[in-house]
Amino acid sequence: MRTGIRAAFLLVAIAALAVLVACGEASPEATPTRAPAAEPTKAAPVATATTAPVPTATPKPAPVATATTAPVPTATPKPAGPVGNFVLGEINIDPAVFLPEKQGTGNLQLLLFWGFFEPLIWAEHSPQPKLERDASKFNAGIAESWAIAPDSSKITFKVRKGVQFHQNKGEVDAFDVCFSLNNAIKQGSTNQRAAGIQRFVTGFDCPDASTVVMNIKDNKIDPNWYRILSNNVLGSPVIVSKKLYDKIGEGPFTTTPVGTGVMEPTEWVAGDHISAKPNLAHYRQPPKIASYKVILMPEPATRVAALKTAQITGARIPLKLVKKAKEDVPGATSREIGPPINQVVMFGGNYWADKDPATGAAIKRDGFKADKDHPWIGDPADATRMESARKVREALRSGIDRAAIVQEIQSGIGKPLTNVINAFPGDVHWDDAWAIKYDAVAAKKLLADAGYPNCFPFKLFVAPGKEWDVEVGAAVAQFWRALGCSVEIDSSDYAAVRPLLVERKRDNPWMIQVGTNGQPDVDYGANWRPSPGFNLAVEVPNEITAISARNLDLVSTTREQRIANTKEWHSYVHKWALSAPVSTLPGTLVLRPEVIAYSPYMNDGPEFVAPETIVMSK
Q: Which 8-state DSSP code applies to residue 25?
A: T
Q: Find the mean pLDDT for residues 50-74.
A: 42
Residue 68 predicted with pLDDT over 60: no
Q: Find the mean pLDDT for residues 432-440.
A: 97
CATH 3.10.105.10, domain 3-25+341-586, yes or no = yes
C-beta atoms surrounding 217 within 10 Å:
15
Q: For the segment 21-56, what is each residue's pLDDT rounded down to a tens digit?
A: 333 333 222 223 333 333 333 333 333 333 333 344
Q: Find the mean pLDDT for residues 560-585.
A: 97
Residue 329 predicted with pLDDT over 70: yes
Residue 556 predicted with pLDDT over 70: yes
**DSSP character string of 253-280:** HHT-----SSEEEEEEETTTEEEEEE-T
Q: Find the mean pLDDT for residues 536-552.
A: 95
- CATH number of this structure's domain 56-332+592-616: 3.40.190.10
The whole-number pLDDT of residue 106 equals: 77
Q: Residue 432 carries which side chain, given as an amino acid letter?
A: D
Cis peptide preceding 129, ω within 30 of 0: yes
Residue 282 predicted with pLDDT over 50: yes
Q: Which of 229-233, 243-247, 257-261 has the lowest mean pLDDT?
A: 229-233
Give CA angle at 338 (336, 343), nearest 5°.
100
Closest CA to 520 of 404, 450, 423, 403: 423
The whole-number pLDDT of residue 604 equals: 83
Q: Find the mean pLDDT for residues 445-453.
A: 98
In the chain, residues under CATH classification 3.10.105.10 are: 3-25+341-586
| Cβ atoms of 613 and 597 closer than 8 Å | yes
pLDDT band, very low/low/confident/very high, at 109 (cuts 50, 70, 90):
confident
Q: Find the mean pLDDT for residues 569-577.
A: 98
In the chain, residues under CATH classification 3.40.190.10 are: 56-332+592-616
Q: For the segment 308-320, what is each residue's pLDDT rounded down to a tens digit?
A: 999 999 999 988 8
Predicted model pTM: 0.75
Distance CA 515, CA 523 (A): 10
Distance CA 428, CA 8 (A): 38
Greatest mean pLDDT among 8-17, 320-329, 552-561, 570-579 lies in: 570-579
Separation of CA 391 from chain center: 30
Q: Find the mean pLDDT for residues 312-334.
A: 93
Residue 555 predicted with pLDDT over 50: yes
**DSSP character string of 473-513:** HHHHHHHHHTTT-EEEEE---HHHHHHHHHTT---SEEEEE
pLDDT above 70 as % of the chain: 87
Separation of CA 447 from chain center: 33
The whole-number pLDDT of residue 318 equals: 87
pLDDT band, very low/low/confident/very high, at 435 (cuts 50, 70, 90):
very high
Distance CA 255, CA 45 (A): 40
Q: For the segment 211-241, what is each residue's pLDDT rounded down to a tens digit?
A: 999 999 999 998 889 999 999 888 899 999 9
